[in-house]
Structure 1
Amino acid sequence: MKKVSIWDVVKKSGLSLVTVSKVLNNSPTVRESNRQKVLQAIQELDYRPNAAARNLARGSTGLIGLTLITLQDSVFDGIVHAVNEALEENGYFLALNVCSSPDGGLKPTNFLFQEDRVDGIIVLSPMEEEQYVLELKRKKIPFVIIDNQIEKTNATTVNVDNYIGGYEATKHLIGLGHTRIAHVSGPELFLSARERRRGFEAAMAEAGLSPLAVACTEFNIRSGFDVAKEWLRSGIVPTAVFAGEDGLALGVMDAFRDEGYRIPRDLSIVGYDDQVFAADIHPRLTTVRQPMEQMGQQAVRLLLKLIDGSLKRNTSVCLKPELIVRESTSPYSPTP
């Protein structure tokens, strides 16, 4: 049996698509006699508007764009899935754009940034945030940034309290009796990396301790390995490390094990993000979990409010991370 469409209602009622759309949207500008014709046609046809019809009725594309720099990150993957589910619940479809170019993918040909292509855009951890904000505001495209890099950005944002995450990770190590604690951080470009480091430094200062070493590098396993090897070559031997990302933590673990150290007996380590591998490696990694599902849901909630006009000014949502204690940390034990 053929599925009834909005066009069948148009034909049955003898009225225009615009009039049918207005009735579906409960517009007060429709003549009562015409409203009754449309409602009668809907009843006789047993018409149930799908998402595409609702979008057509409200004069929108029904698409929400999401732009990000990589898919090779399980946190990003979790956020994208949460966004997709929340959009489906609200009758929207997701258009994904992966921008791996040095300029963050902001090009005139980027289909997400063309007027009338999408109803709104979610920008995930942008590299060139100022360009994005200027372009999207110029084109009057509603947008929300997840994990922004500029502290006082002129946009609606969803972030995690990375300061608290870094603070709690470091307090955990201090609470286990460690005092020779080092930190390996991600690139200064990322506000999240800067905030995690700030939390680390605050916890150390509060305990009357000085960081044994602090390094800034790229977010990947190899960088963590190289930093730890350089520490060991220089005679810097911490009993604990807070790594600002799980890949960095894994690299540090590999470097120390390569030199004969045992984890967590000789070195305790905390990562950040709770990537999918964190619970699978040996020993399982103590880390700070990002609330991926909430991040995606909150971004969609705010964006839809911007689209329907109920949110008039920039809003910032800051979510709490969660320390997940596993087997890569243990109480400090002096080497015999």
Structure 2
Amino acid sequence: MKKASMQDIADALGISKNSVSQALRNKPGVSQNTKMMVMQKADELGYEYQNTTSTKQPKQVLLIATEFAISQTSFFGEIIKSIEDELRKENCQLNIHALTQNEIDELTLPQNFSDYNGVIILSHSDNNYIKKVIASKIPVVLVDHHDPSLQADAILSKNTDGTFQAVSLLIEQGLNRIGFIGDIDFSPSYLERYRGYHRALSEYGLSYDKTIEVTQIEETQGALFNKLKNIDTMPDAWFCVNSGLAFMLNSYLQSAGYTIPDDISIICYDDTEFTRMAVPPITNIATDLQFMGKLAVNTLIKRIADSSTPFVHQQIIPNLNIRGSVKIK
């Protein structure tokens, strides 16, 4: 009787021989569901293979983020959910650790840290702390954070180009005096967005106006309102580094008697419930957060499988979402 082959399994399931090979060797690139179907069919057909999954426990992945980042459910919550969903498909277990300021200051790693197969660090915390995590030699992927001193894979939004696109939209609508709101010292992403804002002004031949650039601010309604009250002449439009600031800005301007977008236009980075709840809804440039989480998991799985390849920074091009806060000609 002819022995069953990989091709027989592939033909029976309607998939490629390569997918069968990856599944039987428990390699990344095929889903956990496909792996299970392949192994079941192999058993049915009598195909002899080394079952690498029966003796191995699911991979353990740790997600580290600051307490502040984890609290931002409208943004980081979507990324975390996507990461959980993708890891489940790969038969990996996820644990989430909220970093305290004391742990950061003391460079204290989470309990049982050495037991994990991989680590995802979400958003910025402290580069010295991240360096300690990387020094452990456990595979690490950074999400929405990077720094030249950090030797690790990173999944990022194309912040500079995205902001350039957003500000260009405003200028093309005849809005030439454009303000900026966002603490550029808070995260590398906000600094990159500031550079994209300046690049757009430069390429369209517009001058910078420091009186309408709010670049150091605590992200609270009181702090923002105090800054805005000190601006003598409002710009034609505002660009905000995130949706929360844009929502608060919209509230302030309307309470001050401005009509959005007839008097002042608003555009921001990120698309969350804040952009959708605002009246009018806020035009934005936004990264696909579900895809960002999926890409992070795929990158980590590959890094776990092969730690010798060069590190890569992958930038996701954001999409422009036209809403009611900008009047389009």
TM-score by length of 2: 0.77
**Residue number in structure 1 paired with 2:218:** 218
Please point out which of 188, 192, 196 is paired with 1:195.
Answer: 192
Listed as ranges, the matches of 1:242-261 within 5 Å are 242-261=239-258
Q: Distance in 2 between matches of 1:76 and 1:158?
A: 13
Within the alignment, does 1:283 sit opposite 2:244 as a pair? no
Question: Judging changes above 3 Å, is the alpha-carbon distance between structure 1 residues 43 and 290 closer, same or farther for their aligned structure 2 residues?
Answer: closer
Please point out which of 147, 154, 168 is paired with 1:150.
Answer: 147
What secondary structure is seen at the aligned counterpart in 1 of 2:75?
helix
Does structure 2 retain, via aligned residues, the 8 Å contact 1:219–1:245?
no
Question: Judging changes above 3 Å, is the alpha-carbon distance between structure 1 residues 299 and 109 closer, same or farther for their aligned structure 2 residues?
Answer: closer
Moved more, 213-222 or 172-181: 213-222
- The two structures, once aligned, show a CA RMSD in angstroms of 2.7
Moved more, 293-302 or 102-111: 102-111
Q: Distance in 1 between matches of 2:175 and 2:105?
A: 43
Q: Distance in 2 between matches of 1:65 and 1:264?
A: 44
Within the alignment, does 1:178 sit opposite 2:188 as a pair? no
Question: Judging changes above 3 Å, is the alpha-carbon distance between structure 1 residues 287 and 43 closer, same or farther for their aligned structure 2 residues?
Answer: closer
What secondary structure is seen at the aligned counterpart in 2 of 1:111?
coil
Does structure 1 retain, via aligned residues, the 8 Å contact 2:175–2:236?
yes
Tell me the percent identity: 26
What secondary structure is seen at the aligned counterpart in 1 of 2:299?
helix
Question: Judging changes above 3 Å, is the alpha-carbon distance between structure 1 residues 236 and 329 closer, same or farther for their aligned structure 2 residues?
Answer: same
What secondary structure is seen at the aligned counterpart in 2 of 1:57?
coil
Q: Distance in 2 between matches of 1:57 and 1:105?
A: 40
**Residue number in structure 2 paired with 1:89:** 89
**Residue number in structure 2 paired with 1:76:** 76
Question: Cα offset for 1:305?
Answer: 1.1
Does structure 1 retain, via aligned residues, the 8 Å contact 2:178–2:236?
yes
Within the alignment, does 1:204 sit opposite 2:183 as a pair? no
> After TM superposition, which residue ranges in structure 1, 4 or more long, deviate above 4 angstroms?
102-107
Q: Distance in 1 between matches of 2:109 and 2:193?
A: 36
Question: Cα offset for 1:221?
Answer: 4.2
Question: Judging changes above 3 Å, is the alpha-carbon distance between structure 1 residues 43 and 330 closer, same or farther for their aligned structure 2 residues?
Answer: closer
Q: Distance in 2 between matches of 1:263 and 1:294?
A: 32
Question: Cα offset for 1:301?
Answer: 0.9
Question: Cα offset for 1:103?
Answer: 5.6
Question: Cα offset for 1:225?
Answer: 2.9
Please point out which of 115, 136, 139 is paired with 1:139.
Answer: 136
Q: Distance in 1 between matches of 2:198 and 2:64?
A: 33
Question: Cα offset for 1:187?
Answer: 3.6
Q: Distance in 1 between matches of 2:201 and 2:85?
A: 40
Q: Distance in 2 between matches of 1:43 and 1:99?
A: 45
**Residue number in structure 1 paired with 2:55:** 57
Question: Cα offset for 1:239?
Answer: 1.3
TM-score by length of 1: 0.76
Does structure 1 retain, via aligned residues, the 8 Å contact 2:153–2:311?
yes
Q: Distance in 2 between matches of 1:157 and 1:109?
A: 20
Q: Distance in 2 between matches of 1:218 and 1:320?
A: 28
Question: Judging changes above 3 Å, is the alpha-carbon distance between structure 1 residues 223 and 289 closer, same or farther for their aligned structure 2 residues?
Answer: farther
**Residue number in structure 2 paired with 1:326:** 323
What secondary structure is seen at the aligned counterpart in 1 of 2:138?
coil
Task: Could you tell me which runs of 5 or more consecutive residues in structure 2 were left unpaired when the two chains were aligned.
Answer: 1-23, 27-38, 45-51
Q: Distance in 1 between matches of 2:223 and 2:146?
A: 21
Does structure 1 retain, via aligned residues, the 8 Å contact 2:184–2:194?
no
Q: Distance in 1 between matches of 2:320 and 2:250?
A: 19
Q: Distance in 1 between matches of 2:104 and 2:146?
A: 13
Q: Distance in 2 between matches of 1:162 and 1:225?
A: 26
Question: Cα offset for 1:169?
Answer: 1.1
Question: Judging changes above 3 Å, is the alpha-carbon distance between structure 1 residues 254 and 229 closer, same or farther for their aligned structure 2 residues?
Answer: farther
Moved more, 122-131 or 166-175: 122-131
Q: Distance in 1 between matches of 2:242 and 2:86?
A: 27
**Residue number in structure 2 paired with 1:119:** 117
Task: Could you tell me which runs of 5 or more consecutive residues in structure 1 were left unpaired when the two chains were aligned.
Answer: 1-23, 27-38, 45-52
Query: Quick one: which amino acid aligns to residue 257 of structure 1?
Result: Q
Moved more, 93-102 or 271-280: 93-102
Question: Cα offset for 1:174?
Answer: 0.4
